[in-house]
Structure 1
Amino acid sequence: MFKNMKYVGYLVIVFIVATSCSSYQKALKSEDVKVKYDLAESLYKEGKYPKANRLFEQILPKYAGKPQGERVVFMYADALYKDEDYYTAAYQFERFSTSYPNSQKSEEAAFYSAKSSYMLSPVFSIDQADTYSALNKLQGFINNYPQSEFLSEANEMVQKLTSKLEKKELEIAKNYSKTYYYKSSIKSIDNFLLDYPGSSYKEEALFVKLDASYKLAINSYEYLIKDRLLEAQEAYDDLLKYFPNTTFADQASKIQEDIKEELSKRS
């Protein structure tokens, strides 16, 4: 008896799935726009975003300029976002904001267009073009909607993206030093400190400059060493000025001792 019930249940599930698939395939092939719309909306509400999107793609041109078009475009953009197709979602949300600037959903669409771009930002170690693009979009959103309910989240994303760019610049400077391009390392740090004066990486940046300055000095021609040692001393003083209890104290002190020793030879 129990086995028969399980079998019947299995057949019911198979029938439902088959019917559902059949309805979906029929809707895809149908010329009736309303059939496509109704099923797309139903699939969207059920969280079946890939299937919903195939239908939305078919009906979008049909609803251009019509009252329902606003709803279709927003659902399509939202489904793309939830399906993690962030490139297309960013475009469709932006398209919505442009096409329906007076919509109650315009602010939300502008935010999610920017957030979609944020989601595309890669790890700091590779090209950051998408990060810059996301920052521009987020800053534009913040400027346009200073009272938005999404403002806090937008500011948080800006901070995270900025920190990523800071990390990228710092790593470039460190790599210059590792490959013996000490001048380039120092120049990169100087630019970093100008661009990001309040960076959470400032302490490490100042230490990198100290280390590179000392290495540049001792690897210079003799007639340049003293002046460059004095510049390294200035880099040490700057580190201690801003971070008297620096976490790089042991390494910095060792460099400082070496600077003094080298200077004493040239006094």
Structure 2
Amino acid sequence: MQFFLRMSILALPVALVACGGKDDLDELALNDTPPEVLFNEGLALRSQGKLGDSTEKFEELDKLYPYSEYSKKSLVNLAFLNYSRGKYTETVTAAKRFVTLYPGDQDSAYMLYLAGQSYFRQMPDITRDQAVTRKSAAAFNELIQRYPDSEYVPDAEKKLRIVKDQLGGKEMQVGRYYLKKRNYIAAINRFKTVVVEYQTTRHVEEALFRLTEAYYALGVVSEAQTAAAVLGHNYPDTQWYKDAFSLLNKGGYEPSEDSGSWISRAFRSV
């Protein structure tokens, strides 16, 4: 990944301090240790593969010299190191703090990317609560909106498509549950979310069919016809459209779009 190669944001042009044994490390932990010494000690530990020790050193620097230039760079290192170690909660904490303290800094894009990646790697399966998935979407969206020219945007957009597909899939799962229980209003609300918010995902075709089912079951034939018509217009060769057409046809109806329906408006807005 690109962010593993971006060493320029992780170091300052200060000569590295030689790394000694445990006694030397303890001595460097004294509160009067200069920030540049702590910073370069952290870099030295990181270069030796001692990521845990390096993390502790940067944490110490951040506590002793908050808001300094060295603390600023330490936050970048902390986010990077914690992500490398699979400590995603700590990664997000460091990244959010950096973005809050330095919103205009060039490294804020990188921090948002790491936050999004951290949430992304914690996404649960479709049957569980998707709060983390939504946080991943929020971080990637913020990165794309605030830093559209960032080198991290292409990968963020790729990940965001996966995130949205997962969120759309969750809405479909819940909607099917309500449909099975004949709670048609609740089901429609879920399928509506897919059509409005996750229209570019693979779930939209089924969502339109399920809307046809739910509205027809409620006796709201015009909306059922509209859902089927929009489905046929956009996905004419799918089994979902064939099933929607068949459902209406059995009742003596056929797909017919009402341009004033929210379904029509949703597709016109894309």
Which is worse superposed, 80-89 or 111-120? 111-120
Structure 1 spans left out of the alignment, 5+ residues: 1-21, 218-226, 262-267
The 8 Å contact of residues 87 and 120 in structure 1, kept in 2 or not, is answered as no
Distance 1:229 1:109 in 2: 50
CA distance, structure 1, for counterparts of residue 81 and residue 48 of structure 2? 11
| Residues paired across the two proteins, number | 230
Of 147, 154, 160, which residue of structure 2 is paired with 1:145?
147
Q: Give the corresponding residue for 1:111.
A: 113
Q: How high is the TM-score relative to the length of structure 2?
A: 0.69
2:240 to 233, 242, 248: 248
> Corresponding residue for 1:52?
54
Counterpart AA for 1:258: K
Shift in Å, 1:253: 5.6
* Aligned-partner residue type, residue 63 of structure 1: Y
- Change in CA separation of 1:84 and 1:197 when aligned onto 2, cut-off 3 Å: same
Cα distance in 2 for residues equivalent to 1:101 and 1:41:
25
How is 1:1-267 mapped onto 2 (pairs within 5 angstroms)?
23-24=21-22, 27-28=25-26, 31-32=29-30, 33=33, 39-100=41-102, 105-214=107-216, 216=217, 227-228=219-220, 232-248=224-240, 251-252=243-244, 254-256=246-248, 258-260=250-252
Q: Distance in 2 between matches of 1:202 and 1:57?
A: 46
Q: TM-score, normalised by structure 1?
A: 0.69
Paired residue type of 1:195: E
Does the CA contact (< 8 Å) of 2:82 and 2:88 recur in 1? yes
RMSD of equivalent CA atoms: 3.3
Q: Deviations over 1:68-102 (max 9, x none)?
A: 33333322221111111112111212323444456
Decide which structure has the larger Cα Rg and report it: 1
Percentage of matched positions with identical amino acids? 23
In structure 2, relative to structure 1, the CA distance for the partners of 1:67 and 1:239 (3 Å cut) is: closer
2:165–2:198 Cα contact (<8 Å) kept: no
- 1:163–1:199 CA contact under 8 A, matched in 2: yes
Separation in structure 1 between the aligned mates of residue 107 and residue 119 of structure 2, nearest angstrom: 18
Q: 2 CA distance for matches of 1:131 and 1:89?
A: 16
- Three-state SS of the structure 2 residue aligned to 1:248 is helix
Note the C-alpha offset of 1:232.
4.5
Query: Structure 1 residues 110 and 234, CA, compared in 2 at 3 Å: closer, same or farther?
Result: closer
Aligned-partner Cα distance in 2 for 1:233–1:145: 42
Which has the larger helix fraction?
1
Deviation at 1:66, TM superposition (A): 4.2
Q: 1:78 to 1:246 in 2, by over 3 A?
A: same
Distance 1:207 1:27 in 2: 65
Answer whether contact 2:75 2:94 (CA < 8 A) is retained: yes
- Note if contact 1:229-1:259 (Cα within 8 Å) is conserved in structure 2: no
Decide whether aligned partners of structure 1 residues 205 and 28 sit closer, same or farther in structure 2, where only a CA change above 3 A counts: farther
- 161-170 or 48-57: which moved more? 48-57
Structure 1 residue 228 displacement after superposition: 4.9
Determine the C-alpha separation between the residues in 2 that align with 1:76 and 1:232.
Answer: 54
Query: Which whole-Å CA distance do the structure 2 matches of 1:154 and 1:124 have between them?
Result: 21
Structure 2: where are the runs of 5+ without partners?
1-19, 254-270
Name the CA distance, whole Å, in 2 between partners of 1:49 and 1:229.
63
Matched with 1:9 is none
Q: Is the 8 Å Cα contact of residues 39 and 70 (structure 2) preserved in structure 1?
A: no
Post-superposition CA distance 1:164-208 (Å, at most 9, x none): 221121222111112222333234323432334444322111222
In 2, Cα distance between equivalents of 1:170 and 1:159: 16
Amino acid at match of 1:136: A
- 2 CA distance for matches of 1:66 and 1:236? 61
2: distance between equivalents of 1:172 and 1:123? 14
- How far apart are 1:47 and its partner, in Å? 3.2
